[in-house]
Amino acid sequence: MGELKVGDRVRVEDRPGWPGGYKIARWEGVIVEVKEDPAGYVVMKADKTGYNMAFPEHELEKI
């Protein structure tokens, strides 16, 4: 963990088998915060909506 930094561009990875499909898969955004609690989470500002969304770091890919 700890690979992503504030300002990194990222894309949300798909979650195969998600009921109804994972609607935010492939969304892109910018990391605006790296959380200390809970560890391993980051906050991404989504390009599509402008909303800040928290994710476990392993569910995002750096682009």
pTM across the whole model: 0.89
Please, what are the domains in the chain? Answer: 9-62 (2.30.30)
- Give the angle subtended at the CA of 63 by the CAs of 31 and 34, to the nearest 5°: 20
Q: Tell me the pLDDT of the chain (63 aa) as tens digits.
A: 578 999 999 999 999 998 889 999 999 999 999 999 889 999 999 999 999 999 999 999 999
Long-range pairs for 21-27 at CB < 8 Å and ≥24 separation?
Answer: 24/53
